[in-house]
Amino acid sequence: MSDPLTVGDTAPDIRLPATGDQELSLADFRGQPVVLYFYPKDSTPGCTSESKDFTRLYDDFRNAGAVILGCSRDGIRSHENFRAKHDMPFDLLSDGDEALCNAFGVLKEKTMFGKKVMGIERSTFLIDAEGTIRREWRKVKVDGHAEAVLEALQAL
């Protein structure tokens, strides 16, 4: 496996199923900054809080010209339900084959109920209008995270 993408690298052109009956790639958004956040699982407490924070600040992100995309390994039906329940105004990507997760190196070994499993480590990437990764946050703690990402976006 190649090294995970990091600051200075170009975001990959990987096309994934997305909410709203779409297929999206990061390349579709060239010309505007993208906030790509990876989260472990739809409808879990931390992921819900994080998604609500990005939703609450959505207008500020849009005013700064950015697109927000959430990504997990959950399927589209799960994503659609999660998005509708919390009125998320942005799309969620379904990375069932883990292509985007692997490209960004966000899959990590975790221990759940005493068993080792591979799961998504909560991570966010700020990609500029040219498609270059400008900032990364790994091992994200939800509290204050969306605000920190917005601040970094506004400083681009």
Give the whole-number percent of the chain exceeding pLDDT 90. Answer: 92
| Model pLDDT for residues 33-69, shown as the tens digit of each residue | 999 999 999 999 999 999 999 999 999 999 999 999 9
| Model pLDDT for residues 73-109, shown as the tens digit of each residue | 999 999 999 999 999 999 999 999 999 999 999 999 9
The enclosing H or E element of 148 equals helix 145-154
Phi/psi of residue 114, nearest 5 degrees: 80, 0
- Extended beta strands in the chain, E state: 16-18, 22-24, 34-38, 67-72, 91-94, 107-112, 115-120, 123-127, 133-137
Q: Which of 147, 43, 12, 25 is nearest to 93 (CA)?
A: 25
pTM of the shown model = 0.96
Catalogue the active-site residues.
Answer: 47
